Structure 1
Amino acid sequence: MLHGIGGSWRSWQTILDDLAAQRDVIAVDLPGFGNTPPLVGPVTMATLADAVTDFLKEHDLLGIDAVGSSMGARLVLELARRGGVLGAVVSLDPGGFWQGWEIPVFYHSVALSTKLVRALQPVMPAVTGNPVTRTLLLAQFSAHPWKVPAHVALDEMRSFAQAPSFDELLNDLAYGKVQQGARQGSISAPLVIGWGRQDYVCLPSQSKLALEKFPDARLYWFDQCGHFPQWDQPAEATRLILAATAGHDFSDAEIAQRASKATRSKPASKVAVAAGVAALVFGALWLLKKK
């Protein structure tokens, strides 16, 4: 299990127990995040991929199935592309497939969010503990942030603020080397890319380029879901991971198991996103004034 930028192994805590009931699970802190020291030298997607490969070799884990989220989702795609490193791969809302105007929007929105998170650390327990302020804080990342458990949000915000490799890796994600693809037929193990339809970090339209670069991949859509399926649709994400890593020929309906449209509540993601954007603007003004 490979977390996203700024995260740690705790990013997976909403689904770890359910996965561990049926699999042996290894959730790591990548170098420069959580409790793992930073890499010596440049911090890039390439050097992170090298570090993960070395870790797997050292522990005799080459060929292990892997799940990645966001930056970690791009990382598992890179490792799958290299060949001989991983088995089945599930890539949840991978970064690295933005183009044109999407690049600065991604970089500056995430950079601003992180500055705000760092500034709010003294009051972060109160912010994440209240559904209203939690919604403002996580609007860019979740389709229904008020439902994200308070302790999960607090763990993630603490990790974001304390990650020494965050800034360097964010720059590489946005402006570094473009993600290479894998020619069709070169990846024989199961490869599934899952994407939230309400993802406002890695836009759903970016899935087209992801599939062009990884034509062996199967695309799965999470409805009513933002950037982190393990937060917004934990049971569905668990079913997808278990099915993909078991090599099952599953249908989308089997994984989704959704109620009928008549019984579903309408997502309030647009309201949440608007509120979150407003919070970012006010946060930026506050930070500038503080300077």
Structure 2
Amino acid sequence: MPEIQLASSRRGTGSPLVVIRQLDREGWAPVIDLLAQEREVVAVDLPGFGDSPPLPGTRPTVQALATEVALWFSTVGLTRPPVVGNSLGGAVALELARADVVASAVALSPIGLWTGPGAAYALGSLRFARTMVQTLGPRTARLTRSPLGRTLAFWQLAARPWQMTAEAADGALRNLVRSPGFEATRRAARTYRLTGFTPSVPVTVAWGTRDLLTPRHQAHRAAQLLPAARHVRLRGCGHSPMSDDPGRIAHLLTSTG
């Protein structure tokens, strides 16, 4: 696989923690602010998302994305760092744990625990949202400036979308449109199913009790496939719990190493 330069940033000092991002850069921002008070937080954009280029000539499966992140570790001086990701990033974090190239992994509402209809619903919803934002163009700020507009745009992702700032909501919508790897990754993810494994490192899977994109019954599947992992219920949180309760997510990450 050709190696590409992934976009990343570093904040804080202390032991490193890698945050794997895709469409959720704005959602991670308040959590990173908290974590950087006691950790070095290394945030990386997955291939094809944020400021990272797509994988050249390679189908962007979850496994291929994980392989690229593992290669990236050595280019930035990281050796077996702990990782965390949400949704697609959560699945990548679990695959890195399966490959035994990380010290620990935390997956927030990871994809891949779905059935065919569940995958079609979640990925179809994201595709519809992207089409809607493309249609709005520069008028997205009109939608996100009001609590009602933010609720209409993010009701599947956040339990309390009206509490998002207008700036964060608008940035999230723009990131959805500008990510060049979105469609190819969406197609590749349709057939991804997490298979069980016994991790050799600590693994935590956390699920919001108000997740409307990958409903929490998928958390039961995760518990069956990964019985050795720690399973956490995030009461009152949605699919992107970083937006709903950044303090709780920061505490979860600092308490799991």
After TM superposition, the score normalised by the length of structure 2 is 0.88
Question: For 2:64 and 2:137, how far apart are their aligned partners in 1?
Answer: 30
2:208 to 196, 211, 230: 196
Q: Distance in 2 between matches of 1:162 and 1:7?
A: 13
Partner of 1:133: 149
Superposed CA deviations along residues 112-166 of structure 1, whole A, max 9, x for unmatched, are: 1121122123211121111111111111111111001221111111110011110
Percent identity between matched residues is 32
Deviations 1:11-54 (CA, angstroms, capped at 9, x unpaired): 41021111000100001111111111111012221211111010
Asked if residue 2 in structure 1 is aligned to residue 20 in structure 2, the reply is: yes
Alignment of 1:148-163 (within 5 A): 148-163=164-179
Q: Could you list the per-position Cα deviations for residues 192-238 of structure 1 after superposition, in whole angstroms to 9, with x for gaps in the alignment?
A: 11110010111100012212222221111111111111100111111
Say if 2:114 and 2:193, in contact at 8 Å, map to a contact too. no
Counterpart CA distance in 2 for 1:80 and 1:45 is 13
User: Counterparts of 1:79-94 in structure 2 under 5 Å?
Assistant: 79-83=96-100, 85-94=101-110
Give the one of 168, 179, 182 matched to 2:194: 179
| 2-structure distance, mates of 1:100, 1:126 | 35
C-alpha distance in structure 1 between counterparts of 2:144 and 2:247, whole Å:
23
Write the distance in 2 (CA, Å) between the matches of 1:15 and 1:82: 26
Deviates more, 1:89-98 or 1:110-119: 110-119
Asked if 1:124 corresponds to 2:136, the answer is no
Structure-2 separation of matches of 1:7 and 1:145:
14
Residue 221 of structure 1 corresponds to which residue in structure 2?
233
| Structure 2 residue 252 is matched with structure 1 residue 240 | yes
| Paired residues, number | 238
Whichever residue aligns with residue 54 of structure 1, its letter is L
Q: Unmatched 5+ residue regions in structure 2?
A: 1-18
Q: Which residue of 1 aligns with 2:5?
A: none
- Write the letter of the residue equivalent to 1:34: G
Give the drift of 1:80.
0.3
For residue 126 of structure 2, the aligned residue among 91, 103, 110 is 110
Structure 1 contact 3–70 (Cα < 8 Å) conserved: no
Amino acid paired to 2:85? G
Secondary structure of 2:42's counterpart equals coil
Counterpart Cα distance in 2 of 1:233 and 1:217: 22
TM-score by structure 1 length? Answer: 0.78
Q: What root-mean-square deviation, in Å, do the aligned CA atoms of Structure 1 and Structure 2 show?
A: 1.4
Q: Is the 8 A contact 1:15 1:235 kept in 2?
A: yes
Q: Measure the CA separation in 2 of the matches of 1:40 and 1:61.
A: 24
Aligned counterpart for 1:19 among listed residues 21, 35, 38 = 35
Q: Deviations over 1:223-269 (max 9, x none)?
A: 11111111001111111011011xxxxxxxxxxxxxxxxxxxxxxxx
The residue aligned with 1:211 is 223
1:168 matched to which residue of 2?
A: 184
Higher helix share: 1
Judging by fraction of residues, say which structure has more strand. 2
For residue 98 of structure 1, what is the aligned residue in structure 2?
114
SS in 1 for 2:106: strand
**Are the aligned partners of 1:181 and 1:214 in contact in 2 as well (CA < 8 Å)?**
yes
Asked whether the equivalents of residues 109 and 207 of structure 2 are also in contact (C-alpha less than 8 Å), the reply is yes
